[in-house]
Protein backbone atom coordinates (compact mmCIF):
# COMPACT_ATOMS: atom_id res chain seq x y z
CA UNK A 1 0.00 0.00 0.00
CA UNK A 2 2.69 2.51 1.03
CA UNK A 3 4.86 1.49 -1.91
CA UNK A 4 2.03 2.10 -4.37
CA UNK A 5 1.24 5.47 -2.78
CA UNK A 6 4.84 6.60 -2.97
CA UNK A 7 5.20 5.50 -6.60
CA UNK A 8 1.83 6.52 -8.05
CA UNK A 9 0.84 9.70 -6.25
CA UNK A 10 3.82 12.08 -6.83
CA UNK A 11 3.61 12.03 -10.68
CA UNK A 12 -0.11 12.81 -10.49
CA UNK A 13 0.50 15.67 -8.05
CA UNK A 14 3.21 17.08 -10.31
CA UNK A 15 0.79 17.06 -13.24
CA UNK A 16 -1.94 18.81 -11.24
CA UNK A 17 0.37 21.47 -9.81
CA UNK A 18 2.04 22.08 -13.17
CA UNK A 19 -1.35 22.64 -14.81
CA UNK A 20 -2.36 24.97 -11.97
CA UNK A 21 0.85 26.98 -12.36
CA UNK A 22 0.28 27.19 -16.11
CA UNK A 23 -3.27 28.43 -15.58
CA UNK A 24 -2.83 30.78 -12.61
CA UNK A 25 0.90 31.48 -12.57
CA UNK A 26 3.96 30.13 -10.74
CA UNK A 27 3.17 31.92 -7.48
CA UNK A 28 -0.14 30.07 -7.23
CA UNK A 29 1.64 26.83 -8.08
CA UNK A 30 4.00 27.39 -5.17
CA UNK A 31 1.15 28.29 -2.82
CA UNK A 32 -0.61 24.96 -3.34
CA UNK A 33 2.57 22.88 -3.45
CA UNK A 34 3.23 23.18 0.27
CA UNK A 35 0.09 21.39 1.42
CA UNK A 36 0.74 17.89 2.84
CA UNK A 37 -0.68 16.15 -0.23
CA UNK A 38 1.58 13.14 0.18
CA UNK A 39 2.86 13.28 3.75
CA UNK A 40 -0.55 13.64 5.37
CA UNK A 41 -2.23 10.55 3.83
CA UNK A 42 0.89 8.42 4.30
CA UNK A 43 1.08 9.39 7.97
CA UNK A 44 -2.62 8.60 8.41
CA UNK A 45 -2.11 5.04 7.21
CA UNK A 46 1.07 4.71 9.25
CA UNK A 47 -0.84 5.80 12.34
CA UNK A 48 -3.45 3.13 11.67
CA UNK A 49 -0.71 0.55 11.30
CA UNK A 50 1.82 1.60 13.95
CA UNK A 51 -0.25 3.57 16.44
CA UNK A 52 -0.78 7.15 17.52
CA UNK A 53 2.51 7.42 19.44
CA UNK A 54 4.38 6.71 16.22
CA UNK A 55 2.41 9.41 14.40
CA UNK A 56 3.13 12.01 17.10
CA UNK A 57 6.85 11.26 16.92
CA UNK A 58 6.71 11.44 13.12
CA UNK A 59 5.21 14.94 13.30
CA UNK A 60 8.35 16.12 15.07
CA UNK A 61 10.57 14.58 12.42
CA UNK A 62 8.51 16.12 9.64
CA UNK A 63 8.86 19.59 11.19
CA UNK A 64 12.63 19.12 11.27
CA UNK A 65 12.42 18.12 7.62
CA UNK A 66 11.05 21.59 6.84
CA UNK A 67 14.40 23.03 7.93
CA UNK A 68 16.09 20.89 5.26
CA UNK A 69 13.59 21.98 2.62
CA UNK A 70 14.22 25.63 3.54
CA UNK A 71 17.93 25.07 2.94
CA UNK A 72 17.10 23.47 -0.43
CA UNK A 73 14.94 26.42 -1.51
CA UNK A 74 17.34 29.11 -0.39
CA UNK A 75 20.35 27.48 -2.05
CA UNK A 76 18.45 27.04 -5.31
CA UNK A 77 17.20 30.62 -5.31
CA UNK A 78 20.55 32.21 -4.50
CA UNK A 79 22.36 30.33 -7.26
CA UNK A 80 19.80 31.55 -9.82
CA UNK A 81 21.74 34.82 -9.70
CA UNK A 82 24.70 33.23 -11.46
CA UNK A 83 23.67 29.92 -13.05
CA UNK A 84 20.99 27.89 -14.79
CA UNK A 85 18.88 25.10 -13.39
CA UNK A 86 21.50 22.28 -13.34
CA UNK A 87 23.89 24.12 -11.01
CA UNK A 88 21.00 25.53 -8.99
CA UNK A 89 19.65 22.04 -8.45
CA UNK A 90 23.08 20.69 -7.54
CA UNK A 91 23.52 23.43 -4.93
CA UNK A 92 20.04 22.79 -3.55
CA UNK A 93 20.63 19.05 -3.24
CA UNK A 94 23.94 19.66 -1.48
CA UNK A 95 22.32 22.09 0.96
CA UNK A 96 19.49 19.66 1.65
CA UNK A 97 21.88 16.76 2.22
CA UNK A 98 24.13 18.75 4.55
CA UNK A 99 21.23 20.07 6.61
CA UNK A 100 19.61 16.64 6.72
CA UNK A 101 22.82 15.04 7.91
CA UNK A 102 23.22 17.61 10.68
CA UNK A 103 19.63 17.36 11.90
CA UNK A 104 19.17 13.58 11.75
CA UNK A 105 18.90 12.02 15.19
CA UNK A 106 18.31 15.29 17.03
CA UNK A 107 15.85 14.64 19.87
CA UNK A 108 13.62 17.69 20.44
CA UNK A 109 9.98 18.15 21.45
CA UNK A 110 7.35 19.05 18.86
CA UNK A 111 7.20 22.72 19.85
CA UNK A 112 10.97 23.11 19.41
CA UNK A 113 10.91 21.39 16.01
CA UNK A 114 8.02 23.63 14.95
CA UNK A 115 9.88 26.73 16.11
CA UNK A 116 12.92 25.66 14.11
CA UNK A 117 10.75 25.06 11.04
CA UNK A 118 9.10 28.48 11.27
CA UNK A 119 12.43 30.21 11.88
CA UNK A 120 13.97 28.50 8.86
CA UNK A 121 11.04 29.54 6.65
CA UNK A 122 11.26 33.15 7.86
CA UNK A 123 15.00 33.20 7.26
CA UNK A 124 14.56 31.64 3.83
CA UNK A 125 11.81 34.04 2.74
CA UNK A 126 13.77 37.08 3.90
CA UNK A 127 16.78 36.07 1.78
CA UNK A 128 14.99 34.78 -1.32
CA UNK A 129 15.78 36.95 -4.35
CA UNK A 130 12.78 38.90 -5.59
CA UNK A 131 11.57 38.35 -9.16
CA UNK A 132 12.58 41.24 -11.39
CA UNK A 133 9.77 40.79 -13.93
CA UNK A 134 6.16 39.69 -13.99
CA UNK A 135 5.54 36.01 -14.54
CA UNK A 136 3.95 35.38 -17.94
CA UNK A 137 3.91 31.63 -18.48
CA UNK A 138 4.51 30.78 -22.13
CA UNK A 139 2.84 28.00 -24.08
CA UNK A 140 4.50 24.65 -23.47
CA UNK A 141 4.78 21.62 -25.77
CA UNK A 142 2.35 18.72 -25.47
CA UNK A 143 5.05 16.45 -24.07
CA UNK A 144 5.81 18.73 -21.11
CA UNK A 145 3.41 17.27 -18.52
CA UNK A 146 4.12 13.61 -19.41
CA UNK A 147 7.85 14.34 -19.22
CA UNK A 148 7.45 15.91 -15.78
CA UNK A 149 5.49 12.88 -14.61
CA UNK A 150 8.12 10.51 -15.97
CA UNK A 151 10.93 12.48 -14.31
CA UNK A 152 9.04 12.35 -11.01
CA UNK A 153 8.48 8.60 -11.29
CA UNK A 154 12.16 7.98 -12.01
CA UNK A 155 13.30 10.20 -9.14
CA UNK A 156 10.97 8.47 -6.68
CA UNK A 157 12.19 5.07 -7.87
CA UNK A 158 15.84 6.05 -7.43
CA UNK A 159 15.19 7.34 -3.92
CA UNK A 160 13.30 4.23 -2.86
CA UNK A 161 15.83 1.83 -4.35
CA UNK A 162 18.80 3.65 -2.79
CA UNK A 163 17.34 3.97 0.71
CA UNK A 164 18.25 0.44 1.83
CA UNK A 165 21.85 0.78 0.64
CA UNK A 166 22.46 4.10 2.41
CA UNK A 167 22.00 2.99 5.99
CA UNK A 168 19.51 4.31 8.54
CA UNK A 169 20.87 7.83 8.93
CA UNK A 170 21.27 8.68 5.24
CA UNK A 171 18.07 6.90 4.30
CA UNK A 172 16.26 9.10 6.81
CA UNK A 173 17.59 12.16 5.03
CA UNK A 174 16.67 10.80 1.60
CA UNK A 175 13.12 9.92 2.68
CA UNK A 176 12.28 13.61 3.21
CA UNK A 177 13.71 14.77 -0.13
CA UNK A 178 11.39 17.30 -1.92
CA UNK A 179 10.68 15.32 -5.10
CA UNK A 180 7.81 17.46 -6.39
CA UNK A 181 9.72 20.70 -5.82
CA UNK A 182 12.74 19.30 -7.65
CA UNK A 183 10.78 18.45 -10.79
CA UNK A 184 8.51 21.50 -10.89
CA UNK A 185 11.32 23.87 -9.92
CA UNK A 186 13.76 22.59 -12.54
CA UNK A 187 11.18 22.50 -15.33
CA UNK A 188 9.85 25.95 -14.42
CA UNK A 189 13.35 27.40 -14.36
CA UNK A 190 14.30 25.83 -17.69
CA UNK A 191 11.11 26.80 -19.52
CA UNK A 192 10.01 30.07 -17.94
CA UNK A 193 13.22 31.50 -16.51
CA UNK A 194 14.67 32.34 -13.13
CA UNK A 195 12.01 34.88 -12.15
CA UNK A 196 9.31 32.24 -12.56
CA UNK A 197 11.11 29.73 -10.34
CA UNK A 198 11.73 32.48 -7.80
CA UNK A 199 7.99 33.04 -7.67
CA UNK A 200 7.43 29.33 -7.16
CA UNK A 201 9.92 29.29 -4.29
CA UNK A 202 8.46 32.37 -2.62
CA UNK A 203 4.97 30.94 -2.91
CA UNK A 204 6.09 27.58 -1.56
CA UNK A 205 7.87 29.16 1.40
CA UNK A 206 4.60 30.81 2.43
CA UNK A 207 2.58 27.69 1.69
CA UNK A 208 4.77 25.65 4.03
CA UNK A 209 3.33 27.69 6.91
CA UNK A 210 0.15 25.67 6.43
CA UNK A 211 2.22 22.48 6.26
CA UNK A 212 3.95 23.30 9.54
CA UNK A 213 0.63 24.18 11.17
CA UNK A 214 -0.92 20.91 10.00
CA UNK A 215 1.66 18.76 11.76
CA UNK A 216 1.82 20.98 14.84
CA UNK A 217 -1.93 20.64 15.34
CA UNK A 218 -1.89 16.94 14.54
CA UNK A 219 0.96 16.13 16.91
CA UNK A 220 -0.52 18.27 19.68
CA UNK A 221 -4.11 17.01 19.72
CA UNK A 222 -3.75 13.41 18.53
CA UNK A 223 -3.38 11.87 22.03
CA UNK A 224 -6.53 13.65 23.23
CA UNK A 225 -8.85 13.65 20.20
CA UNK A 226 -7.96 10.45 18.44
CA UNK A 227 -6.91 9.83 14.85
CA UNK A 228 -9.86 10.94 12.73
CA UNK A 229 -10.77 14.10 14.65
CA UNK A 230 -7.12 15.14 14.85
CA UNK A 231 -6.58 14.75 11.11
CA UNK A 232 -9.77 16.66 10.35
CA UNK A 233 -8.74 19.53 12.62
CA UNK A 234 -5.20 19.59 11.21
CA UNK A 235 -6.55 19.54 7.66
CA UNK A 236 -8.94 22.40 8.38
CA UNK A 237 -6.07 24.42 9.86
CA UNK A 238 -3.73 23.81 6.94
CA UNK A 239 -6.40 24.53 4.33
CA UNK A 240 -7.46 27.72 6.12
CA UNK A 241 -3.92 29.07 6.08
CA UNK A 242 -3.45 28.14 2.41
CA UNK A 243 -6.80 29.69 1.46
CA UNK A 244 -5.85 32.91 3.23
CA UNK A 245 -2.51 33.03 1.43
CA UNK A 246 -4.15 32.42 -1.95
CA UNK A 247 -6.72 35.15 -1.24
CA UNK A 248 -3.98 37.63 -0.34
CA UNK A 249 -2.05 36.66 -3.46
CA UNK A 250 -5.09 37.34 -5.65
CA UNK A 251 -5.72 40.70 -3.98
CA UNK A 252 -2.11 41.68 -4.63
CA UNK A 253 -2.35 40.44 -8.20
CA UNK A 254 0.95 38.54 -7.85
- pLDDT 10s digits, 187-208: 889 888 899 999 999 989 999 9
CA distance 235 to 222: 13
Q: Looking at the predicted structure, is the pLDDT value of residue 88 above 90?
A: yes
Give pLDDT tens digits for 89-100: 999 999 999 998
The answer, yes or no, to whether residue 234 has pLDDT greater than 70, is yes
Do 116 and 184 contact (CB within 8 A), yes or no? no
Q: What confidence score (pLDDT) does residue 167 get?
A: 57
- Say what the pTM is: 0.87
Average pLDDT on 158-169 reads 64
pLDDT, tens digit, 9 for 90 and up, residues 209-230:
999 999 999 999 999 999 899 9
- The domains of the chain are located at 2-130+146-252
DSSP one-letter code for 105: T
The model's pLDDT over 22-78, given as tens digits with 9 standing for 90+, comes to 777 777 777 778 888 778 887 888 788 888 888 888 899 889 999 999 999 999 999
Contacts of residue 176, Cβ cutoff 8 Å, sequence gap at least 6: 61, 62, 65, 68, 69, 100
Question: What sign does the CA torsion over 29, 34, 37, 39 have?
Answer: positive
User: Helix 144-175 crosses helix 179-192 at what angle (to 10 degrees)?
Assistant: 140
Where does residue 9 rank: exposed (0-12), middle (13-18), buried (19+ CB within 10 A)? Answer: middle
Q: 79-88, 175-184, 197-206, 245-254: lowest mean pLDDT where?
A: 245-254
Amino acid sequence: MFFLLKIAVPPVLVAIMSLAARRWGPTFGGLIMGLPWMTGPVLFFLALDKGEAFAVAACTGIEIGVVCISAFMLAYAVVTNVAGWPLCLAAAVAAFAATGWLTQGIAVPLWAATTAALASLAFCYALLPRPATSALPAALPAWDIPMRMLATLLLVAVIMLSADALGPRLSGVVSTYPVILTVIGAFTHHQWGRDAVRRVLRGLTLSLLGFVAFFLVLGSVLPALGLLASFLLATATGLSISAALIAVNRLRGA
